[in-house]
Amino acid sequence: MSALICGSFAYDTIMVYTGHFKNEILPDRVHMLNVSFLVPEMRREFGGCAGNIAYSLKLLGGEGMPMGTVGTDFDDYAAWMDEHGISRDYIKGVDDAYTAQAYITTDLDDNQITAFHPGAMNYAHEQQVPSDAGITLGIVSPDGKDGMVQHAAQFAEAGIDFIFDPGQGLPMFNGEELKRFLGQAAYVAVNDYEAELMSDRTGLSVAEMAKNLKAMIVTKGGEGSVIHADGEQFKIPAGSPTALADPTGCGDAFRAGLIWGLQQGLDWPTIGRVASLMGTIKIERPGTQNHRFTMDEFKARYKEEFEQELG
Phi, psi dihedral angles at 193 (to 5 degrees): -65, -45
pLDDT tens per residue across all 311 residues of the chain? 799 999 999 999 988 899 999 898 877 777 778 888 999 989 899 999 999 999 999 999 998 999 999 999 999 999 999 999 999 999 999 999 999 998 989 888 878 888 989 999 999 999 999 988 899 999 999 999 999 999 999 999 999 999 999 998 999 999 999 999 999 999 999 999 999 999 999 999 999 999 999 999 999 999 999 999 999 999 999 999 999 988 889 999 999 999 999 999 999 999 999 999 999 999 999 889 999 999 999 999 999 999 999 97
The per-residue DSSP string of 27-95 comes to: GGGGGG-------SEEEEEEE-HHHHHHHHHHHTT-EEEEEEEE-TT-HHHHHHHHHTT---TEEEE-T
**What pTM did the predictor assign?**
0.92
Query: Is there a contact between 138 and 128 (Cβ–Cβ < 8 Å)?
Result: no
Whole-angstrom distance, CA of residue 293 vs CA of residue 264: 19
Phi, psi dihedral angles at 286 (to 5 degrees): -70, 155
Residue 3's pLDDT is 98
Which alpha helices (H) appear in 88-173, and where do they start and end?
A: 145-158
